[in-house]
Amino acid sequence: MSYNTVYKDIGLKDYKETWDFQAEIFKGLIDNKKRENQNSAAITDPDHGTLIFVEHPPVYTLGKSGSEENLLVDLTRLAAGGASFYRNDRGGDITYHGPGQIVGYPVFDLEQIGISLREYIHRLEEAIIRTVGSFGITSSRLPGGTGVWLEPEMPGKARKICAIGVKASRYVTMHGFAFNVNTDLAYFENINPCGFTDKGVTSLEKELGNRQDFEAVKLIVKKNLQDIFDLEWIN
């Protein structure tokens, strides 16, 4: 059965503003589930998922169990370079978001979809693996690490093209993935990406040797997510 989902492409938006936006949707879904469990008829919010696509101005985010030691410069230097920093409540370590990167925040009820959190992450990875594959690039998973990688088991060559970090409560998800399309990879030099010191990062632009049509790539990702999660778009 298809999962009814609202799609919102909100363009270039401040990280904290977007975090608050998805948190409001997240809370609404959870509150609905609580009312349903109490057999209440007073359910006012629509019981559907939301997929948010966004680009952020330069920002570094650190997951709840991440180490600040993986931030290699001080906050003053980050601010001087026009980047901000937030510790948030997702899983994973430190990562970078910036222009040219497709950031996806699915706020989904996994109980309705009928999958586990592990399967959810697997499907997010699969959507990006299929997207990258449509450009003739082979990507895969790294055992023991989330995200999508190129040559993950090749020492000195392993590089991540998509980071994933999520939060779930009562089977409702927030946060999500960050897929490097035309991302300025120099920003990753300020961190140990996702806590790794022996692996690199990459982008579609770097792998293909030219700047990509960002909106066209976004549509491919959206279609792959729709197919993999069996989403039905609603207004």
Q: Residue 226 — pLDDT band, cuts 50, 70, 90?
A: very high
The answer to whether the CB of 160 falls within 8 A of the CB of 203 is no
pLDDT at 77: 85
Average pLDDT over all residues of the chain: 93
At 34-57, the pLDDT tens digits run 887 776 554 444 579 999 999 999
Residues serving a catalytic function are 194
Helix (H) or strand (E) run with residue 169 in it: strand 159-169
- Alpha-carbon torsion 182, 188, 192, 195, what sign? negative
State the residue for tokens 């998973």. Answer: 141
Interval 62-76 mean pLDDT: 90
More confident residue, 181 or 81: 181
Q: How many CB atoms lie within 10 A of CB 10?
A: 14
pLDDT at 81: 85
- Alpha-carbon torsion 38, 39, 44, 50, what sign? positive
Q: For residue 166, list its beta bridge partners.
A: 175
Contacts of 142 (CB under 8 A, 6+ apart): 149, 152, 153, 158, 160
Q: What percent of the chain has pLDDT over 90?
A: 78
Q: How many CB atoms lie within 10 A of CB 43?
A: 12
Q: Residue 215 — pLDDT band, cuts 50, 70, 90?
A: very high
Q: Residue 201 — pLDDT band, cuts 50, 70, 90?
A: very high
More confident residue, 115 or 144: 115
Helix (H) or strand (E) run with residue 214 in it: helix 214-229
Give dist(CA 226, CA 231) in Å, integer: 5
pLDDT at 40: 53
Poorest-confidence range of 41-45, 96-100, 187-191? Answer: 41-45
Is it the case that residue 30 has pLDDT exceeding 80? yes
Question: Under DSSP, is residue 103 helix (H, G, I), strand (E, B) or coil?
Answer: strand
pLDDT at 44: 47
- Classified by CATH at the fold level, domain 3-230 comes out as BirA Bifunctional Protein; domain 2 (3.30.930)
Q: For residue 168, list its beta bridge partners.
A: 173
What single letter denotes the amino acid at residue 85?
F
Give dist(CA 178, CA 94) in Å, integer: 12
Give dist(CA 213, CA 210) in Å, integer: 10
Backbone angles phi, psi at 2, to 5 degrees: -65, 150
